[in-house]
Amino acid sequence: MTAVRRLALPLVALFAGLIGTLIAALLMAGAEEDRRRTRFAGLAESSVGAIRSRMLVQLTLLRGAAGFINASDRVTQADFKTYVDRLRLEQNYPGVLGIGYSAYAPDRLALKRVLSGAADVDVPGVTLRPPGERRDYSVILFLEPQDRLNSQAIGFDMMSETTRRQAMEASAKSGLSQLSGRVRLVQEIQPVKQPGFLIYTPLYSAGRLRGWVYSPLRAHDLFGAIFYGADLSEIIVEVFDDKIGAEQLLYQSAAVERISHYRSITPIEIAGRRWLVRVTASPRFSRDTILPAPVGVGIAGILISMLIATVLLIQSRAARRTEEQVMLRTAELRAANDLLLTEALARQAAEAKVAQMQKMEALGQLTGGIAHDFNNMLTVVIGNLDIAHRRIGQPDRAERAIAQATEGARKAADLTQRLLAFGRLQALRPQVLDVNELVAGMADMLGRTIGEAIRLDTSLMPSLWPVCADAAQLESAILNLAINARDAMDEAGSLRIQTANVILGEGDLPQAESSATGPHVLVSISDTGHGMPPEILSRALDPFFTTKPVGKGTGLGLSQVYGFVRQSGGHMAIESVEGQGTTIRIFLPRHESSAPAETRGHRGEGRLPLGAGETILVVEDDDQVRNVSVETLRELGYQVLAASGGEDALDLLERHPDTCLVFTDVVMPGMNGRTLAQQVLERRPDIPILFTTGYTRDAIVHDGRLDEDVTLIRKPFAVAELAEAVRRMLDGSSR
């Protein structure tokens, strides 16, 4: 009994120690399991967040490329290459093969236009691959950087493959970026193939689908770049397209040797496509921790209480500390992701707002300038016509008022021509010119314009190359620049006009114009005036911007000259130093033809050429303009037939075979003037046709130049101009 009592306490202690040790081991195992699950969840969420962030950056790249293409009516392969080169895809965005542009053709005819027009954007010799008839087409025209892999894609029709077609149609329908399913990229020409996918962003122009900006991505390269530098020794990351399976596998960081119970599957939405990211614990993560064995029953019995308390405290603190670290890291990743999204959206909103403000400011300045000048001119016209009406019994005063009203109307017509010149929409009459002869012929007029106090100096290079330009517009440009120089010199100083042959390289021109290099003729106008500070120089070409006092200038001079020069295929550069003067250089392309330059002449004024009773058919949809044209031609001695549209004109032509000339407006509802002329010539190939218009862009003018078979007088026209044009065409047709 005594022995039992003596052993009772050790036995109790032993059993208590064993039970305590068992409880401690179980608690440690549970705490370790919780810590591992929390840590695994953090690693998995971090991997998913990295994928989301990287794909958001890729979508932002495509939106930027789409904005670049939509900002211009015509983007060449060189323009696109320059834009993509600046992104430095290989250094900044590894895994992205490139950024490209695929044009959309809704039918075979549109496809021919796309393929034939590829040369216009510096992509010659594009061949459709694979050939064959399809419902519609989308041909790759650009893909930069243009390396050995990406060159395989040029000309490939992405509508020929179902997965690509589904993504492109979904993108066009939603108007948003769309991710494709897993595909074999055209660039996969190497022995080791990778799965790939593409991202499409649609492009629209005037509500019509133009094509897609897209990016091909090799899955292994992309995800390898995403996790480059990350420690994946404890997890295995797999990415599947839409559902889990070997055929849908896009990426696998390592082979899964055995299935661990630490595994998560997270669906993510990327540009309208669902991915499944499966994260599995690696053998290193799953390696069991070997718990230390009890030192001894006695020690365990003695230290069991402290051991349990210490172990529980240590494990609790460790678990809590690990969980806090995982939660902190997760919160940081979420905050970074949210900040990136917020910054991207804010940047897009700010860019859109600034662009809209700039457009509205420019539009307000333009409309305000037009309204101001036109109101002034209309005041002159209306006021003087009212005076003439009131003084109808006083011929001298009435005639003077009518003359002043006519001058106001002429200034209004000049303003419209300046606006068309600024917008590069005027119809030019280019001819081969000797610029030296043109400048020399203007010397007397320039001397009278700038005054005797300003010295005119010309330096004309011998053997100057010919140019092809509108002589009247070039004279007007030089005169405008001379007047500006005179005003800048306060009527005292020196004006120098210089010509030279120059060869322009890419470094001599702004980047936007660097493609138009080669031989040019330089016309330089320099003055010794007060010059322009940088803030004025930066706005010198803005329409209606002027530093002259109110009433001394319209602000359209320089913008008109710039519009003419650019429409003629040339360039203009302005250099100015405040207090020293200004130099404006006009570069016009050399005309390579061997035809001699035309000599400029000025025809003296004389009597109006009259008609001899010939019959003229006038076609004009505006009643008032038609009535004025009819009365004018009758005053000039012609028989006149009048029609308000193309159908009426053709009917009158059939009933009056003696018609000698057709005088038609270009822009009319229904049948326009160009179409009418074609049908008239089918019936009467010998009849001359004289066109008139206040504005036209495509009917008889292409690339800013009149078609070769077109004779045009601009509205508003004077009686003398109409009389000379009609007589010249009638006399020419009779020979």
Task: Kindly report the number of other CB atoms within 10 A of residue 376's CB atom.
Answer: 15
What is the mean pLDDT of the segment spanning 523-528? Answer: 92
Bridge partners of residue 571, in order along the sequence? 587
Q: Which two tokens stand for residue 468?
A: 């092809």
> Is 709 or 186 the better-scoring residue by pLDDT?
186
* 443 confidence band (pLDDT: 50, 70, 90): confident
pLDDT at 289: 41
DSSP state of 156: B
Give CA separation, 224 vs 53, 95, 188, 195, in Å: 14, 8, 17, 13
Vertex 107: Cα angle to 104 and 110 (nearest 5): 65
Q: Evaluate whether 619 touches 578 at the Cβ level (below 8 Å).
A: no
What is the mean pLDDT of the segment spanning 265-271? Answer: 94
CA gap 154, 139 in Å, rounded: 8
* 116 confidence band (pLDDT: 50, 70, 90): confident
Render pLDDT for 65-91 as a digit per residue (tens, 0 to 9).
Answer: 999 988 887 888 888 899 999 999 888
Render pLDDT for 657-697 as a digit per residue (tens, 0 to 9).
Answer: 999 999 999 888 889 888 999 999 999 999 999 998 876 55
Q: Which two tokens stand for residue 442?
A: 């203007």
- Residue 326 predicted with pLDDT over 70: yes
- Residue 604 predicted with pLDDT over 50: no
pLDDT at 209: 93
Q: Evaluate whether 608 touches 546 at the Cβ level (below 8 Å).
A: no
> Is 509 or 724 the better-scoring residue by pLDDT?
724
Burial of 429 (0-12, 13-18, 19+ CB in 10 A): middle
pLDDT at 189: 78
pLDDT at 11: 65
pLDDT at 605: 47
Of 417-426, 431-440, 657-666, 679-688, where does mean pLDDT reach its minimum?
A: 417-426
pLDDT at 202: 96
**Which residue in the block uniquely carries the two structure tokens 């250094």?**
91
Render pLDDT for 249-261 as a digit per residue (tens, 0 to 9).
Answer: 999 988 887 777 7
Q: Which two tokens stand for residue 461?
A: 């290079």
pLDDT at 585: 92
Q: What is the DSSP string of 80-95?
A: HHHHHHHH-HHHHSTT
* 720 confidence band (pLDDT: 50, 70, 90): confident
Q: Evaluate whether 105 touches 137 at the Cβ level (below 8 Å).
A: yes
Task: Kindly report the number of other CB atoms within 10 A of residue 394's CB atom.
Answer: 13
| Run of H or E including 440 | helix 435-441
What is the mean pLDDT of the segment spanning 136-165? Answer: 91
Domains of the chain and any CATH numbers: 72-225 (3.30.450.350), 431-589 (3.30.565.10), 615-734 (3.40.50.2300)
pTM over 0.75: no
pLDDT at 714: 82
How many helices (H) and strands (E) are present in the chain, helices listed first? Answer: 18, 23
Closest CA to 212 of 155, 271, 273, 168: 168
Of 303-317, 408-422, 426-440, 684-698, where does mean pLDDT reach its minimum?
A: 408-422
CA gap 150, 96 in Å, rounded: 11
CA gap 641, 620 in Å, rounded: 11
* 272 confidence band (pLDDT: 50, 70, 90): very high
> Is 313 or 51 the better-scoring residue by pLDDT?
51
Q: Burial letters for 453-462: b for 16+ Cβ neighbours within 10 Å, e otherwise?
A: ebebeeeeee
Beginning with the edge strand found earlier in the chain, give each strand of the sheet holding 518-527 in spatial order: 454-459, 493-504, 518-527, 581-589, 571-577
pLDDT at 603: 43
Task: Name residues whose C-beta falls within 8 Å of residue 284's C-beta, 6 or more positions apart in sequence.
Answer: 233, 234
> Is 375 or 420 the better-scoring residue by pLDDT?
375
**What's the chain's average pLDDT?**
80
CA gap 175, 169 in Å, rounded: 10
- Residue 50 predicted with pLDDT over 70: yes
Q: Burial letters for 681-701: b for 16+ Cβ neighbours within 10 Å, e otherwise?
A: eeeeeebbbbbbbbbbeebbb
* 602 confidence band (pLDDT: 50, 70, 90): very low
**Which residue in the block uniquely carries the two structure tokens 């000259």?**
561
- Dihedrals phi, psi of 266, to nearest 5 degrees: -120, 115
Q: Can you list the positions of beta strands (E) in 505-638? A: 518-527, 571-577, 581-589, 615-619
Q: Evaluate whether 353 touches 65 at the Cβ level (below 8 Å).
A: no
- The Cβ-side half-sphere exposure at 558, using a 13 Å CA radius, reads 23
- Residue 62 predicted with pLDDT over 60: yes
- Dihedrals phi, psi of 337, to nearest 5 degrees: -65, -45
Render pLDDT for 304-325 as a digit per residue (tens, 0 to 9).
Answer: 756 766 765 676 666 677 777 8
